[in-house]
Each structure stands twice: as C-alpha cells, then as structure tokens.
Amino acid sequence: PHKTIKKICCIGAGYVGGPTCAVIAEKNPDIIVTIVDINPTRIAAWNSDTLPIYEPGLDKIVKGCRGRNLFFSTDVDKGIIEADLIFVSVNTPTKKKGVGAGYAADLGYVESATRHIARVAQSDKIVVEKSTVPCRTAHSMRYILEANARPGIHFDILSNPEFLAEGTAVPDLMRPDRVLIGSLDTLAGRAAAASLADIYASWVPRGQIIAMNLWSSELSKLAANALLAQRISSINALSAICEATGADVDEVSYACGLDTRIGSKFLKASVGFGGSCFQKDILNLVYLSESLHLPEVAAYWRQVVEMNEYQKRRFTDRVISSLFNTLTGKKIAILGFAFKKDTGDTRESPAITLVNYFRAERANISIYDPKVEDSQIWMDLTEPGVVDDLAELQKQVSIATNAYSACDDADAVVICTEWDEFRDTYLDYGRIYENMKKPAFVFDGRLILDRNRLEGMGFRVETIGRAASSFKTPRDWE
Ligand code: UDX
Ligand code: UDX
Ligand code: ADP
C-alpha cells in the first residue's frame, strides 16, 4: 500500500523543473503542482505572458494549467510544507574553485535546497532528486535530511533523472523513451517509488517506467549523456578524416547509421556539441573515475571532451586559413548563438568559443540569433563583473536584428546553429552575396546548406566534414 500524491512542490523553476512539472500538472489535473524558486524575476516571468524559457509547445501547456493546478511562487517554505512529494531541480554547475575545480559538480545548490526541506518540513516527504548529479548524491541528501529532520519526520529519497533535450522538451516529456525511478531497496523506498510511478503512469505506459537501485539510476543519467556525446565526438573525429581525404561525412554517417546496431540518430557532424549537460556530465564521470582510482577510465571519457574542443579549434583554423591567414579588421557574421536550434539557451554553446577565437584574431564580429537575448550574448562574452570588458568587447562585436544585416559587408558568414531559418531554402543567400565583400565565404558548421547551390551563386563554401571544392586528393594517395 503506497501513498497517493496530492500535492507536489518543485524546487527550481529552470529548464528542467519548469517544463517537467508543467507536463505533470497537465497530465494529473487532480494533483496541485507548485514550482518555487528563489529567483523572483524568474518566477515573475513564469507568471507572465512571456515565459523565461523558449520551448515549442510549452506556452500552451503552462497557460492551460496555470492558476488551475499549476502555480509558480517564491514562497519556498510554503511549497515544501504543503507538498507530499518534492522535486529538487536546482542548478548543478561545474565547480570553478577548490577540490575538483573544472570537473566536479558544485552541489551547493542541491545541498542548500535539501537543508531547506529538512528545516521547514512538518510532515513526511518523498524527496526526488531530479537535477543531474554525480553518482551517490542521493546518499548525501538522505544524510542531510536525516541529520536535520524534526523529530518524528520521515523522508524517502528517490532518484528520477530527466532525459528531455532542450528545444524538444515538450514532445520528449510527452513520449519519453523511459522514466527511471531509483530508490532504496527497502519497503519504504519501494513504496515511495510506487507513489512517483503512479504520477507518470497517467500518461507513460507502465512498461516504460523502470524501477532500479538509487545508484544505478544516478549513474544511468551520466552514462546516457556520455554515450550520446561520445557519438558526436566520434563522428566529428571522422569529419576531420573526411576533410583530409575527400570523403563526405554525411555519406559516412548515413552509411554507418543504417546498421541497426549503430542507428542513425545523433550522428550529425557539427562544429561541436554544447548545452548544459554533455560536457558537465562527462567531466563528472571523469572526476568520479579518478576518485575511484580508475585513471584509464577517466582518460577514456576525457578524450570525448578534448575531441570537442579540437573540433571547434579546427573549424576556426579553417576559417582563418581560408581567409588568407588573417582576420584582422575583417567582418565575420555569426549566424546562430544558441547551442542548438529551437532554444534560446547558450550554455557551453560552441558559438561562444568561436567568437572568442575570432576576437583573438582581431576580427570584427556581427552576431544574429533568432531567440537569444542580447544581454545573454554580452554576458557570455565577458567575465562577470568586469566593466571595462564590455566596452572593449563592443568595439569588436555587435548584435544584429536579422541575418541580412549581420551579413552586410561581411567577408565571411559562419553558421554556428542549425536554425531552420538559416537554410538556403528560407534565407535569400543571393541577397546576402550581393552585400558581402568578395570573395564571399560561407562556413557551414552545421551541414545545413546546399553547397552546390551556394557555389552556383558565387560563394566559396567550406563545410564541416567535406573537403573544399578546390580539394585535390593528396599526392601519395593517387
Ligand atoms: C564484426 C562486425 O559485427 C561485422 O559487421 C563485420 O563485418 C566484422 O566484424 P564479428 O567480429 O564477426 O563481426 O562479430 P561481432 O558480433 O561484431 O562481435 C565482435 C566482438 O565483440 C565479439 O568478441 C563479441 O563477443 C563482442 N561484443 C559484441 C561484445 O563484447 N559486446 C557486444 O555488445 C557485442
Ligand atoms: C542532452 C540530452 O540529449 C538529454 O537527454 C539530456 O537530458 C540533457 O542533455 P540537450 O543538451 O538539451 O540534451 O540537447 P541535445 O539535443 O542532446 O544536443 C546537445 C548538443 O549536441 C547540441 O549542441 C547539438 O547541436 C549537438 N549535436 C547533437 C550534434 O552536434 N550532433 C548530433 O547528431 C546531435
Ligand atoms: P536546469 O537546467 O538544471 O533546470 P536552471 O539553472 O535552469 O537549471 O534552473 C535551476 C533553478 O533553481 C534556478 O532558477 C535557481 O534560481 C533555482 N534554485 C537554485 N537553488 C535554489 C534553492 N535553494 N531554492 C529554490 N530555488 C533554487
């Protein structure tokens, strides 16, 4: 016999907590879902017409449930006190200082949210770890809860990692491949897992809701992201071979993907992966491996991140060498600043690295992205709190309001994000060509352009994973 959940609180109204709990609310009209956050601006945005994050389909869901059984609030105490089940969905950035800096996750936010729960809870709670965290975090959370609980209060801890990808959060939540619920293998642990499973069972087939032990669940999330990122680094490593041989990475990817053991998804070569998860989770895995005295394992996974850095560097080098080995004073138009299409998120976006490389070469840079806020771009390109930085930066970098003005008078266009509106079937590249310096270069970091078509217009096109048109097979190969 397990408890039926009537009230849910989610701590953290971010990219994970917001969409996940909105969908839970929509699918469970009998459950009251309150999402709380210490950031009042964020909560105000969730309560307004302009949500703080852009996700196709999310507006409709939030507007349908908000005020009915979905609430956004800064009153964290009240949210905790009233709930039977609490999702902890706060940020877990990579540590910048101290032990494990650059690798380990900063669990400060998770810990402070956990202590908050222990401090104010007046009744038993199921506490669900939703943020991506290193393996064994649930263990620490349980320890903190038990050490600080009021007398007589019992906490059950579950791990329920979220697998949604940004830009497709709503369809991913509506039709997840699987839902993992990790629990202690005790009567109470299994009962808590069953209570959470009922919530998902409102729309997810029971067979896809998988129960397992806490640590398997935590590690599965890191493992899944590491395996996905590894596929991208693998195809990107092959893209370098393609450029040097005259093979075409899209053809190689297609051919390999047809093998059902490999599969076709997540094999698109690119300028490099970004996003808040891949790099962070792999570095977590590296740190974990090292802590467990498994240096070979650590080196293996670290290489996935190193390949990603190499890919960005390699692409930049190609831009520089194509532009006659100097970017000084030249104008580079950057199309796309988000780490992928259909999101305004820029965390770990390859565009940031590229712009920094181009700045070091003293290029002038004009950036356009359909969804990223100007203030976000300025923040990403400066050190927090350094005022001089911004003035210096703005001598070199400008933000355009559309793709055409970004490309006006440019020497080169660099596609950093695969937004549909940058495809040659949408954007008028003829018009762009007319207004560019000559020779006009296009660097396709996302393989979204029809190279023959653009070359027909007069462009010189350089694509990831394809040799330049002028390419000759290396002598010794003939
Ligand atoms: C392989 C390729 O599968 C085949 O497409 C190619 O043409 C030749 O090489 P083969 O070596 O015959 O075929 O067998 P395969 O089934 O791929 O197994 C290779 C090795 O990997 C075996 O030792 C197998 O035990 C091992 N393996 C396979 C695992 O350890 N784990 C797995 O999940 C799959
Ligand atoms: C990822 C995981 O997919 C998701 O399951 C997890 O919960 C969070 O991390 P996300 O980072 O939102 O999601 O986006 P994803 O679609 O995985 O893309 C990550 C990066 O890889 C992007 O920069 C994307 O452009 C790049 N990518 C993806 C490629 O370069 N090639 C591909 O084939 C796929
Ligand atoms: P994610 O991508 O994991 O969802 P975000 O950074 O988008 O991460 O969201 C995490 C949210 O959690 C932020 O809005 C932050 O203000 C909030 N948060 C962090 N710590 C706490 C806390 N102790 N109590 C309430 N909210 C918190």
Task: Say which ligand is closest to the CA of 165.
Answer: 2
Residues 35 and 52: their CA atoms lie apart, in Å, by 14
| CA distances (Å), origin 68, targets 29, 31, 414, 463 | 8, 10, 46, 50
335, β-bridge pairs: 368, 415
Task: Say which ligand is closest to the CA of 256.
Answer: 1
Closest ligand 3 atom to 116 CA? 23
Q: How many CB atoms lie within 10 A of CB 293?
A: 8
Distance from the alpha carbon of residue 262 to the mean position of ligand 1, in angstroms? 12
Between β-strands 155-159 and 179-183, what pairing exists: parallel, antiparallel or unpaired?
antiparallel
User: Are 436 and 458 in contact, with CB atoms under 8 Å apart?
Assistant: no
Q: Is the CB of 15 under 6 A from ligand 2?
A: no
| CA distances (Å), origin 389, targets 231, 353, 380, 386, 393 | 37, 16, 12, 6, 6
- Would you give the distance in Å from CA 95 to the centre of its chain? 17
Structure confidence at residue 132 (pLDDT): 81
The burial of 168, by beta-carbon neighbours within 10 Å (0-12 exposed, 13-18 middle, 19 or more buried), is given as middle
Nearest CA, atom 5, ligand 2:
163
Residues 277 and 386: their CA atoms lie apart, in Å, by 27
Show the low-confidence residues of the chain (pLDDT under 70).
385, 387, 471-478
Q: Is the CB of 141 under 6 A from ligand 3?
A: no
Structure confidence at residue 468 (pLDDT): 80
Task: Say which ligand is closest to the CA of 108.
Answer: 3
Nearest CA, atom 2, ligand 3:
15
Nearest CA, atom 3, ligand 2:
165
Q: Is the CB of 232 under 6 A from ligand 2?
A: yes
Q: Is the CB of 165 under 6 A from ligand 2?
A: yes
Q: Is the CB of 76 under 6 A from ligand 3?
A: yes
Active-site position among 21, 65, 277, 416: 277
What pLDDT, in 10s, does the model give residues 296-352?
A: 999 999 999 999 999 999 999 999 999 999 999 999 999 999 999 999 999 999 999
Out of 273, 285, 345, 346, mutate this one to test ligand 2's pocket (max ligand atoms within 8 Å of CB): namely 273
- Contacts with 186 (C-beta within 8 Å, 6 or more apart), sequence order: none
ipTM above 0.90, yes or no: yes
Residues 380 and 66: their CA atoms lie apart, in Å, by 32
Nearest CA, atom 25, ligand 2:
340
Q: Is 277 a catalytic site residue?
A: yes
Closest ligand 2 atom to 418 CA? 25
Residues 212 and 184: their CA atoms lie apart, in Å, by 9
Distance from the alpha carbon of residue 143 to the mean position of ligand 2, in angstroms? 33
**How does DSSP classify residue 5?**
P
Q: Is the CB of 194 under 6 A from ligand 2?
A: no
Q: Is the CB of 239 under 6 A from ligand 2?
A: no
Nearest CA, atom 20, ligand 2:
273
Q: Is the CB of 10 under 6 A from ligand 3?
A: no
Q: Is the CB of 125 under 6 A from ligand 2?
A: no
- Would you give the distance in Å from CA 4 to the centre of its chain? 33
Out of 232, 236, 239, mutate this one to test ligand 2's pocket (max ligand atoms within 8 Å of CB): namely 232
Structure confidence at residue 105 (pLDDT): 87
Q: Is the CB of 41 under 6 A from ligand 3?
A: no
